[in-house]
Amino acid sequence: MDSATLIDRILRDHGRTYAEEAGIRLRDTPSPLYQLLVLTVLCSVRIRADIATAAARELFSAGFRTPRAMLDASWQQRVDALGRAHYVRYDESTATALGEGAELVLDRYRGDLRLLRERAGGDVEELRGLLREVPRIGPVGADIFCREVQAVWPELRPFFDERSCATAAGLGLPRTPAGLARHVPPRDVAPLAAALVRVSLSKDAERELRRLGESRAA
């Protein structure tokens, strides 16, 4: 199985972005970009990805899809939404972080993260630095946001974080973002990056793909 075929298999079985799983119809408009930021905050603690995406869906179902709606919600309403998704241990601190983050987005970017994009000026490191100013988002969270938002901010492509590149290398695939991107059209770069992270979180999936990669090399 050559690299292109193996990548097709990875995309087929695991190529769903986390934004898609959270019910975010990602576009370069204020509401879905903010929803991706919320998902990033939720993923920025040691918690299972499926619980984080479920928590995002609960928050959005409760109507907290914009920074104004998030800020206008009470702290207890945010805690309750997180609790319904079993987002435990971090529910209270995350409810606080979401309120503070919504206030920052409103004050600094007038509720529109496209202004954050403009401020970064196409510089990925500058963008990551601005993202880390949002409460709860650290280097890993900044990578999560960039990995997903490259679907609608093409100047970030190809963005594969260290985890996705390490997973690719372990499967015998190219270990650089440029090398991986050569095997897929631009629309599949974000799904491939997410797929490689999903594989890294599943021992069974990684084991099966390693077996296929080894059979290719034999």
Torsion of CA 139, 148, 50, 105, to 10 degrees: 70
Residues with Cβ within 8 Å of residue 162, at least 6 apart in sequence: 143
| Cα first-last separation, the chain | 10
Tell which residue, 51, 38, 4, 34, has the closest CA to residue 192: 4
Cα gap 17→194, rounded to integer Å: 5
**Residue given tokens 């409460």 in the structure block:** 135
Nearest-angstrom CA–CA distance, 209 and 187: 23
Integer Cα distance of 155 and 190 in angstroms: 13
State how far the Cα of 167 lies from the Cα of 14, in Å rounded to an integer: 13
Contact present, 6 and 216 (Cβ < 8 Å) = yes
Ramachandran region, residue 64 (left: φ > 0; alpha: ψ -120 to 50; beta: rest): beta
- pLDDT, tens only, 47-74: 999 999 999 999 999 999 999 999 999 9
pLDDT in 10s for each residue of the chain, 218 residues: 688 899 999 999 999 999 999 999 999 999 999 999 999 999 999 999 999 999 999 999 999 999 999 999 999 999 999 999 999 999 999 999 999 999 999 999 999 999 999 999 999 999 999 999 999 999 999 999 999 999 999 999 999 999 999 999 999 999 999 999 999 999 999 999 999 999 999 888 888 888 876 665 54
Q: CB–CB of 181/154 below 8 Å?
A: no
DSSP state of 218: -
What is the spatial distance between Cα 32 and Cα 11, in angstroms, rounded to a whole number?
A: 23
> What is the per-residue pLDDT across 2-31, written as a single tens digit (0 to 9) for each?
888 999 999 999 999 999 999 999 999 999
